[in-house]
Amino acid sequence: MAAPATSPPASANLRRIVAASLIGTTVEWYDFFLYGSAAALVFNKLFFPGSDPLVGTLLSFLTYAVGFAARPLGALVFGHYGDRLGRKKLLVLSLLLMGGATFAIGLLPTHATVGTAAPVLLTALRLVQGFALGGEWGGAVLLVSEHGDARRRGFWASWPQTGAPAGQLLATGVLSVMTALLSDAAFTSWGWRVPFLLSGVLVIVGLWVRLSVDESPVFRAALARAEARRTEGAALEKMPLVAVLRHHWRDVLIAMGARMAENISYYVITAFVLVYATSHTGLSQQTALNAVLIASALHFAVIPAWGALSDRIGRRPVYLLGAAGVGVWAFPFFALVDSHHFGLLLLAVSVGLVFHGAMYAPQAAFFAEMFATRMRYSGASIGAQFSSVAAGAPAPLIATALLADYDSPTPIALYVIAAALLTLLAVGVARETRSRDLTAVEGSAVEGSAVEGSAVEGEGRTAGPDGGASSAVPSGGA
Alpha carbon 9 to its chain's center = 26
H-run or E-run covering 470: strand 469-470
Percent of the chain surpassing pLDDT 90 = 32
How deeply is 274 buried, as exposed, middle or buried, from its count of CB atoms within 10 A (0-12, 13-18, 19+)?
buried
Q: Quick one: angle between helices 87-105 and 11-38, nearest 10?
A: 30
pLDDT tens readout for residues 352-382: 999 999 999 999 999 999 888 878 888 888 8
Three-state DSSP at 435 gives coil
Average pLDDT rounded to a whole number, residues 280-289: 85
Residue 5 has pLDDT above 80, yes or no: no
The answer to which of 46-50, 179-183, 246-250, 297-301 has the lowest mean pLDDT is 46-50
Percent of the chain surpassing pLDDT 70 = 84
Give the dihedral sign, CA 368/372/378/383.
negative
The answer to which of 83-92, 226-235, 391-400, 410-419 has the lowest mean pLDDT is 226-235
The answer to which of 117-121, 327-331, 402-406, 463-467 has the lowest mean pLDDT is 463-467
**Statement: the pTM of the whole predicted model exceeds 0.85:** no
Residue 133 has pLDDT above 80, yes or no: yes
Q: Please report the pLDDT score of residue 471 as a whole number.
A: 31
Beta bridge partners of residue 469, listed in sequence order: 463
d(CA 1, CA 188): 58
Q: Please report the pLDDT score of residue 55 as a whole number.
A: 64
Residue 159 has pLDDT above 70, yes or no: yes
Q: Check if the beta carbon of residue 430 is closer than 8 Å to that of residue 254.
A: yes
Q: Quick one: angle between helices 87-105 and 199-210, nearest 10?
A: 170
Average pLDDT rounded to a whole number, residues 424-436: 93
463 backbone dihedrals φ, ψ, rounded to 5°: -75, 135
Among 435, 287, 466, 372, residue whose Cα is nearest residue 83: 372
Average pLDDT rounded to a whole number, residues 12-21: 80
The answer to which of 7-11, 22-26, 27-31, 319-323 has the lowest mean pLDDT is 7-11
Average pLDDT rounded to a whole number, residues 142-158: 85
